[in-house]
Amino acid sequence: MTDSLCTHLRFGRILLTGAAGNLGRQLRPRLKRYCDQLRLSDRADLGAAAAGEELVQVDLADKAAVHQLLEGVDVVVHMGGISTEQAWSAILGANIVGLVNLYEAARAHGVKRIVFASSNHVTGFYRQDQVVSPQDPIRPDGFYGLSKAFGEGLAQMYWDRFRIETVSLRIGSSFPAPRDRRMLATWLSYDDTERLVMSALTAPVVGHTIVYGVSDNPLTWWDNTSARHVGFRPQDTSEGFRAEIEQRQGPIDTSDPATRYQGGAFVRSGPFID
């Protein structure tokens, strides 16, 4: 990041799940600056460990392995699981069974805060001419979005019953640059992703908070007013990409469900019953 993040908190050990995924690879070197030890987990190969890293290859559906994974952890940044619309059995194992395993292990080991990678697809069937807040009813656009809605409900229950705090991040589209006109509204820069995660980890009191993960884009479908207590202030914007994207993409076809609904192409894919 070009600017310094305003936090003086430092953690002993942060667990980052899904460390081999798109956002996991971006967060891996960034989170190390805020902790003494960074524990990284994924089903995929994680390469060689850098200084201060601990690598654990684990399937989230393996209850015993996840229990061991949480030992000695201060906070969790949970980016693991399935991130696209896939067969129900895959989503069930990774995003539902795996998440229950994670929260149960956190409870057993006394972990008090989790940052959970939810998704904008929890509300993907709202139209693009609507502005949605975390207080509005869910409208998932498939099994993937539905699994993330389950995750938010699970986080709420573990806060109410066991006082484990969670910030659920309804992440938009986190890439180096927005790719199309939809992403002019949903884009989240990698630097703003770091700001969002660290705000979620260091805000004094969060209970269970839902916040949309989006940069400071002029075009927006999401209202984060109710989550201002987390302290996330995005610094980047999609506006600098607008002219090139509009020239390249041209007018959109409003008869296409992917251009009517906030979930984009996800409203046309699946759900896949296997």
Closest CA to 20 of 41, 36, 3: 41
**Cα gap 128→220, rounded to integer Å:** 9
Residues 174 and 190 sit within 8 Å (Cβ to Cβ): yes
Told to judge if 144 belongs to the known catalytic residues of this protein, a careful annotator would answer yes
Selected catalytic residue, list 103, 126, 144, 212: 144
- Residue 164: exposure state from Cβ atoms within 10 A (0-12, 13-18, ≥19): buried
Closest CA to 188 of 200, 199, 172, 202: 172
- Angle of CA points 247, 249, 254, to nearest 5°: 125
Q: Could you give the residue numbers annotated as active site?
A: 144
